Amino acid sequence: MRLVLAFTALLAATTSPAGAQETIDSAGLAGKWTGTLTTPGGALPLIFALGDADGDGNPDGNAYSPAQSDQPLPLGEVALADGILTLTIPMVGASYEGRYEEGRFVGTFRQGGAQLPLTLTLDPEAELPEEAALPADHVLPAPETVAALLDPVVAEHDGMAVAVALIALGREDLIVRADPATGYDGDTRFEIGSITKSMTGLLLASLAADGTVALDDPVNRYLPETAQLPDGADGRAITLADLARHRAGLPRLPADFSPSQPFDPYAHYDIDALHASIAATSTLESEPGETVAYSNFGAAILGAALARAAGTSYAALLEERLFVPLGLEAVIGNSSEGTLAQPHGRLHQPQSDWDLGAFAPAGGVRADIADMARFARLYLERPAAFAEAIALLFEGGDADGLGLFRRRFGDREIVWHNGATGGSRAMMALDPDRGEAVVVMVNSHAGINPDHLAVHLLTGRPLP
């Protein structure tokens, strides 16, 4: 999950380094491969434990970032061809590609816009972190306990605000701790980033539940004739569900994407630009429906397709199907109404808020903590108006749902999505079996990791 790797940014592509090719086969991949990323925050050791756990002859495994967390990150596609190793880490939207040279892989790690050199060396002695056991008697903490945890961090950062929702059946506590000089309170909105994808996934489920679309409809059915996506090599078309589950074979961002400005990269990327990017996509990175590869491009296409299917705009569809029925005051993009918590970057410097343009379905919603509590509670209570749609979210039993992921922590299965813009972060973590949820939003990339905090508050899992 991005739950672990804290150096997320925005995507670009690069080629594998050239070098003398040596021989290695899939059997030779088995073991622990270690390397160190040099990030803006310092050195970050990584371990890739590769093998063939299910015995199907195809490599698989987990990634670990021991300095950040003891959680294993399941790898998506792992492939070795002509001495080149490629692998994906769907939970954090990351990938690696390296060429085998002199007993090691030399290549590039990509996550968001970061592309960092990474050399992996086989290290049988590398120690994998042991995942901490969850306390059996954990309950959602009292608001005073959460406030005491947040206050020292907020006090160290001028302009910081953190909003937390603790939700259970029959209980809801909303906590906002902010620099008093800001005047931020429970009505202050935050950029929720990619949690918007959960809303887009729910829109798909809602439209499928009433028969407007079907999950396995080809997305091209709802795109202009001049903006059609390619099929897979076997002729299989990309479906609406493929887009929602990040299995469409699309890159994180379109190949022709160029940020309009450094601190507001999507501002001028409108629907015409999206259609042009679709038309320019001639090949897929993997076969539709097979490999999980996190894609903002795919989420943007899904939002546009659903709006076209419903005969309206994405913003109007979200308002009609979600915001109004739930009584949300959330908005898409810039709004003259209400207050937005000023975003801050990694060094807690003031950062521009983002106008997502045609990427709004991937990350454009702004919401206050009461909005997010209502949205999270929807998954726990499953009101009649949404029951059929929610039942479709994980249809088929895949670990990846429609705009949601799920992961086991000990004996608990947590459903989640997180989000990040240039200066804000958010995390929604749900335990439907227990009827509990936690949402954390912060207007900074410094001080507090909302992913870790939300899971800690929900499960009692120790903070890193």
- Scan for tokens 């396995």, then name that residue: 216
Contact 134, 123 (CB under 8 A): no
- Same domain? For 307 and 425 the reply is yes
Asked if residue 455 is part of any domain, the answer here is yes
The answer to whether residues 118 and 166 belong to one domain is: no
Mean pLDDT of 350-357: 95
Q: Clarify whether residues 105 and 174 are in a common domain.
A: no
Domain of residue 369, residue span: 162-459
pLDDT of residue 54: 64
Is pLDDT larger for residue 91 or for residue 195? Answer: 195
Quick one: average pLDDT of 270-277? 97
Residues 84 and 224 occupy one common structural domain: no
Per-residue pLDDT for 396 more than 50? yes
- DSSP 8-state class, residue 239: B
The answer as to whether 136 is a domain residue is no
Q: Kindly state whether residues 279 and 357 are assigned to the same domain.
A: yes
Kindly indicate the confidence band of residue 441, based on its pLDDT and cuts at 50, 70 and 90.
very high
139 inside domain:
no
Q: Are residues 188 and 79 in the same domain?
A: no
Per-residue pLDDT, 19: 41
Is residue 85 domain-shared with residue 171, that is, in the same domain?
Answer: no
Which of 70, 90, 122 is where one domain is finished? 122
pLDDT, position 290: 85
For residue 32, being part of any structural domain is answered with yes
User: Mean pLDDT, to the nearest integer, of 167-195?
Assistant: 97
β partners of residue 87: 78, 96
CA pseudo-torsion sign 440, 436, 138, 135: negative
pLDDT at 8 over 60: no
Residue 15 has a pLDDT of 34
- Whichever domain contains 279, its CATH number is 3.40.710.10
Tally of domains within the chain: 2
359 and 440 in a single domain? The answer is yes
Q: What is the pLDDT of residues 124-156, one digit of tens each?
A: 999 998 877 888 899 999 999 999 999 999 999
Is the distance from CB of 163 to CB of 368 less than 8 angstroms?
A: yes
Q: Are residues 364 and 307 in the same domain?
A: yes
Same domain? For 296 and 425 the reply is: yes
What element of type H or E holds 37?
strand 31-39
Where residue 336 falls among pLDDT bands split at 50, 70, 90? Answer: confident
From residue 272, how far is each of 226, 243, 279 by CA, in Å?
11, 19, 11
pLDDT higher than 70, residue 375: yes
Q: What is the pTM of this model?
A: 0.85
State how far the Cα of 89 lies from the Cα of 425, in Å rounded to an integer.
Answer: 20
Would the pLDDT of 356 be above 80? Answer: yes
Residues 100 and 178 in one domain: no
Nearest to 363 by CA among 318, 401, 398: 318
pLDDT at 52: 79
Whether 148 is covered by a domain: the verdict is: no
Computed over every residue of the chain, the mean pLDDT equals: 90
Distance separating alpha carbons of residues 87 and 75, to the nearest angstrom: 7
Q: What percent of the chain has pLDDT over 70?
A: 93
Whether 171 and 96 share a structural domain: no
Under the banding of pLDDT at 50, 70 and 90, the label for residue 398 is low
Decide: residue 352, CB within 10 A, 0-12 exposed, 13-18 middle, 19+ buried.
middle
Q: What is the mean pLDDT of residues 346-353?
A: 94
End-to-end CA distance of the chain: 15
Confidence of residue 399 (pLDDT cuts 50, 70, 90): low
Boundary residue ending a domain (91, 122, 153): 122
Average pLDDT of the residues in 259-278: 92
In a domain, 37, yes or no: yes
Do residues 310 and 212 make contact, with C-beta atoms less than 8 angstroms apart? yes
pLDDT at residue 388 is higher than 80: yes
Task: Establish if 281 belongs to a structural domain.
Answer: yes
Quick: pLDDT tens for 84-130: 999 988 777 788 999 999 999 999 998 866 789 999 999 999 999 88
Does the residue 340 lie in any domain?
yes
What does the pLDDT look like over 25-67, one tens digit per residue?
888 899 999 999 998 778 999 999 999 766 667 788 999 999 8
Distance CA 124, CA 146 (A): 41
CATH number at residue 46: 2.40.128.120
